[in-house]
Each structure stands twice: as structure tokens, then as C-alpha cells.
Structure 1
Amino acid sequence: MESKTILVTGAAGFIGFYVSKELLALGHNVIGIDNINDYYDVNLKYARLAELGILREQAENELNLSSSTSYGDRMQFVRMNLEDREALPNLFRSQSIDLVCNLAAQAGVRYSLENPNAYADSNMIGFLNILECCRHNNISKLVYASSSSVYGNSDAVPFQETANVDHPISLYAATKKANELMAHTYSHLYGFETIGLRFFTVYGPWGRPDMAMFLFTDAIINDKPIKVFNNGNLSRDFTYIGDIVSGVLSTLLEPSDSSQLYKLYNIGNSQPVKLLDYIEAIEEVIGKEAKKDMLPMQAGDVKQTYADVSKLKTQYNYQPKTNVKAGVSAFITWYKNYYK
């Protein structure tokens, strides 16, 4: 495969880090951007970048492009906000970018209740800035992160891409639905391909500290109670990071149907797991029972997620392979090594 130069936003984030690492392993050039905000522990973000060869002192220099050592000049990084209307267009103009993978966003359903402006800035203005840069720099394909949260509290499972998603129940979900509409408009008006991926509860090594896998593991190991919302009557389509990355790379690198420029896909495990069963799997690997604080449903949360991935399977041969037991074990091994 011919080497390409690919812009990956959110390169210090969970999924962005893995996508960048795999692209480099395949011989591509990566320009990573991230604002390294303090939504969660920045040390974890810098540690991910270090795995890509970007040293902390390099990454801390805002707007200065720095190259990694372990991948030569094939990995470059710049610290930047997506919504910066001068810096982002300047970056596009200064580099010969072939493809864009937009994984940067203000994440988290619950945090959107506390800090809505962060979601407007990053997820709305930032995404518009990305679309404008793609438009003006002849980018042929943009792959971007959407979310299973767009389905809201739908009872029609498994969730299909053709379902009505006009009723999001969190601001985070609303911004992701808006991203899909914005991408559709730009594909229609300016003729470049946009592929939205609706991620379903991604977990695994190097995962986010605000996610259930991390929170539960940390609490159980440290003898703290875990918060179990809706008294445990929740289910999630937990999807291992390795399966997610394989799907992202397929949509990004493989040729697709050129007659249809705007595309949307579910990307999940298609095997929903009850929350209490997930906790049990963690308890089993750690060898300790959780202290459970049973709580009511939290605002913005959904009761279930369940992905129909047949469309992604048909068009890109997507095949999730990692079951929850194996994924949980891999995460806990990483957690114990990382936190000693």
C-alpha cells in the first residue's frame, strides 16, 4: 500500500493514540494534533504520546510541530485546539495531507451537564473548522468519530444506522448528531467523502479514566465502592479497542463506494453485556469482590446499547474478535503494569 500522510486529531486520546500507532506500523506518515486538556489526567495523555516517540517537552510546546524519534519524521505532533481558526488552516496549508481522521472531541455524557461550552467549542466549532480545512485543501476523505449515544433511549435493538436519531438525551449526543448532519452537508456541497463511525463503549489498555472499565478496576483494587447506576439494570455493547481500530483503519485506508460520498456506520461488538456481568468479569480477574453503591439512573445516561454492525461487516469485512473476558483481562494487566 502506498504510504500516505494522515492527520489524526485527538492523537493523545485513547482511540487516536491506537490509530496513530497502527498507521505508523503500516508505514504511513502521521500528523497528530491534540490540545491535551485536563478533562482527565494529562500524564496518561503524555504517556501515550511517549509510546509514539513524542516526548513530553515536545508535546507541551503549543502550535510548534515536533517530530518523534522512534518513528523518525513519520510521526509529527502539534498541540492545538480544533477550534483555532488560524492555527488549523495554517497547519493544513503547510503540510501535504492525504486523509483526515477526526477523533478529537470533548468526551463524556455526564460532563456535558457540567460544562456545556466545552462541547460547543470542540465538537461543534472544532468540527466545522475541520470540515472547512478539508474543503479548502482538497482532502478526499474524512473519517470522524460519532457515538452510539445518538440513539438515545431507543427500544429498537439492535441499533441500526437507518433508525431515527432525532431524540438525543445529552448535549454530548446532540453534538455528535450535529456532526453527522454537518458532514452530510459538506459531502453534498463540496464533493468529498465523509465517513461517520458510531462508537459503542470502547474499552481496553490505555483507556480513559472516566470510563466504567477504569473506574471499576481502580475502585476494586483500592478497596473503594463502585457506583452502579440504575441499580445495575443497564447493558452496554462493550467493544475492545483492537476491534475498534481495525474498523477505523478499514474505513480510512480501503477504497469505498465512490457513488456515495456520505456514509455512517455502527462500530461495536454486537454482543451487549449486562453491567453486573461486566463487573463480575472484573472481579474475577482481580480476585476481589466489589463494594457496590447502588444508585438511580443518572441524567443523560441510556439504559442499553446494542450495535447492528452488518453494514460495516458487508462493506469493510469488519469482524470484532475480542470477548469481554479477554478484553477485561488485557486491561487489568495493563493497569497493574502502568500503575505499578
Structure 2
Amino acid sequence: MNGPVLVTGAAGFVGHATAHRLLDRGERVVGIDIVNDYYDPALKDARLATLTARDGFTFHRGDIVEPGLIARLIADHGVTRVVHLAAQAGVRYSIDNPFAYQHANLAGHLAVLEACRHAPGFVHLVYASSSSVYGEREMGERGFSESDAAVAPVSLYAATKRSCELMSAAYAKLYRFPQTGLRFFTVYGPWGRPDMAYFSFTDRILRGEPIEVFNEGRMARDFTYIDDIVDGVVGALDHVPERGEHRLLNIGDSHPVSLMEMIATLESALGREAVKQMRPMQPGDVPVTFADVSRLHALTGYRPKVMLAEGLTRFVAWYRDYYRVG
């Protein structure tokens, strides 16, 4: 069997779920996370508690940018595969806190690249990118394709994610180690991020507080349930590219849903109606995301299974249990 998988951002939403899936199939997992306060660290600690209770999981609390840290973890544990999910997320947060993205996303990605390229017998680096790299797009008859130009980001967050893709392409060519970048489309579900709309809407609706509906609801997102995202991450990890190859893959549901439909679906799952305050478009946001997942399907057989109504119902059940609300 291969050595353990290093998962960066293991206390994060996708990192936590990916680590569990790898453990479920008998892998050993080494996790690292700085556990910062971008959102409630208690939620991150609660995610970690579900992992540290399991055999085969080892956790290191630290900053991936720390010189030599990732290289030491790889060497000490015999790691030959890395799933790099640590990053500073959030489009709107990047407007006010740009240097957080320089540090976590750019310097962090470079630190991982350098560690992987020096690791003996290294097999595969899989890393998180974002649908944000596509910029402002209209929703046509087909989804956004990996072959589409991604040259006009509308937020610093998107610019750093596209920069990471270019850095990986250069490292793959220079140092000949296989890499896969995954462009995630609006991940949601239990244990999710409180800064995401469906999560904050749930909180405010249950408190009887109004929700802000940006661009007056004229938006659509390719909402992708966490289990489907993890199917794609693990499937990509298992299908190793050729030596020196860098590939990009979309992971989405490929069925974009309007913001107003999402709100209606959430209201149904909660059994409560939201008080809506219409607002203009936020700086850095995009009107629509829509994934063409044909490349990932051809490679791994990936096919999303959880539709939005079921996914939001599962999320609401988790939310009520975790926060102990009626």
C-alpha cells in the first residue's frame, strides 16, 4: 500500500470530508491546518475532533508557509501523495484583506510545490482551485469548460487561484511531477462554511432576521453537495497523470440553480419563510457558475448524486443538531 496521504486544510469543510473518505477506505491520513479565525474556530475544532478520534489520522497544527514544514511532514511520514486544500477562501473577504490571500494562497501553494518536487518517489499532487477563475460569464447552453479562457478574474481571490494553477503548470513542466487542479463549484452541505450564503441564510431565517439577496436575486450557482465533491477529489487522486502532466478538472453539479430557487428550497427545508432584503451586486461576485464536468466523468466516472432539495434537507438536519436549535 502507498504511504499516507497528506491533506492540507484538514480542519476545513472539504478537507475534513476528504480525510474521512480516505480513512473510510483504509488509508492513513496526515492532516495539517492553521485553524485560523476567518470563521468560528470552534467549528473547525469540532470537525477535527471527528478525525482525531479515528485510527490512522495524525494531525499537525501549523502554517503551511512555515519554512520546511511541509517538507518535514512529507519526509517524516513517507508521504507520496498530497491533497492540498488549505487556502484563504472568500471573494468578499479578499476586498478588505488582500494580504491574507498573498500569504495563504500564493506563498502557501508555492511551499507545497517546493516540498513535493523535492520528495523522493513523489506520486501525485491534487490541489483546490475554484470556479471563480472563469470570471464574469453568461450562462449558455453548456457549462464552463476547462478549455475556456480564464484570463479576467473579478476578485483577488480568483486571481490568486488562477495564479496557483499557473505556478503548478510551471512546476509540472520543470520538475516532472504529476499534478491535478480541481475547480470547485459552490460546495455546500453539513459541516459547511458559515460565510456561505445557504449557511448564513439558515442562521438568519431561524433567528427571524432578514436575509440580504444580492443582485436582487438575479444570480445562479452550480450548488454541489459535499459528498459529490469528495467523490471527485478522491477519484482524481486515484487517476494519476503522466509524469510531468498538469491537468485541470471541474467538479460541479452541472445543474445551476437560481438564487431565488435556492432560497425557496431552503425555506421548504426549514419550514419557515425568509424576510428578503434586495441588494445590488457585491464587488468581486459573479452572476453565474455552471460546470461542464465531462472531463472528470470521462476520467473517473464522476456523476453527481445529491440534488439540492435533498442536500439542503441534510444540511438543515445537521445544523439543527449541531447548534441545538428547533
C-alpha deviations, 1:148-185, integer Å up to 9, x for none? 00000022641000011010000000000001000100
> Which position in structure 2 is the counterpart of 1:318?
302
In 2, Cα distance between equivalents of 1:143 and 1:120: 20
Partner of 1:132: 114
> Partners in 1 of 2:202 and 2:74 — Cα distance?
40
**What is the match of residue 12 of structure 1?**
11
Aligned-partner Cα distance in 2 for 1:27–1:210: 32
State the TM-score, normalized to the length of structure 1. Answer: 0.92
Provide the secondary structure at the position in 2 that maps to 1:52. helix
Show the counterpart of 2:66.
Answer: 84
Match of 1:181 in 2: 166
Count of matched residue positions in the alignment of Structure 1 and Structure 2: 321
Q: Contact 1:3 / 1:29 at 8 angstroms: preserved in 2?
A: no
Work out the CA distance in 2 between the residues paired with 1:7 and 1:121: 20
- Distance between the aligned counterparts of 1:257 and 1:78, measured in 2? 29
Shift of 1:37: 0.3
In structure 1, the residue matched to 2:88 is 106
Closer, same or farther: CA 170–129 of 1 in aligned 2, 3 Å: same
Question: What is the alpha-carbon distance in structure 1 between the residues aligned to residue 316 and residue 85 of structure 2?
Answer: 25
User: Which residue of the partner structure matches residue 95 of structure 1?
Assistant: 77
Within 5 Å, which residues of 2 pair with 1:75-224?
Answer: 75-138=57-120, 139-155=122-138, 157=140, 158-224=143-209
Q: Aligned partners of 2:175 and 2:5: how far apart in 1?
A: 20
Is the aligned partner of 1:330 residue 2:317? no
Distance 1:92 1:260 in 2: 20
1:278 & 1:123 partners in 2: Cα distance?
Answer: 30
Contact 2:2 2:80 in 1 (8 A): no
Give the gaps of 5 or more residues in structure 2.
Answer: none
1:51 equivalent in structure 2: 50
Tell me the residue number matched to 1:235: 220
Counterpart selection for 2:272 from 288, 295, 319: 288
1:245 to 220, 224, 230: 230
Partner residue, 1:61: none
Match of 1:267 among 242, 251, 261: 251
Conserved 8 A contact 1:30-1:76: yes
Structure 2: distance between partners of 1:93 and 1:243 = 31
8 Å CA contact 2:91, 2:285 repeated in 1 = yes
Which amino acid in the other structure matches residue 193 of structure 1?
A: P
For 2:48 and 2:243, how far apart are their aligned partners in 1? 37
Cα distance in 1 for residues equivalent to 2:60 and 2:288: 37
> Which whole-Å CA distance do the structure 1 matches of 2:83 and 2:186 have between them?
19
What's the CA shift string for 1:236-289, capped at 9, x where partnerless?
000000000000000112x34426711000100000000000000010111111
1:298 alignment counterpart:
282
Query: In 2, distance between residues paired with 1:127 and 1:271?
Result: 30
Deviation, structure 1 residue 70: 2.9
Q: Secondary structure at the match of 1:11?
A: coil
**Distance apart, 1:82 and its partner CA:** 1.5
Structure 1 residues 108-151: Cα deviation after superposition (integer angstroms, max 9, x where no partner): 00000010000000100010000000001132210000000000
Match of 1:59 in 2: none
1:207, 1:156 → 2: CA distance?
A: 26
Amino acid at match of 1:204: G
C-alpha separation in 2, matches of 1:194 and 1:317: 19
Q: Contact 2:176–2:243 at 8 Å: present in 1 too?
A: no
Q: Which residue identity is paired with 2:247?
A: K
TM-score, normalization: structure 2?
0.96
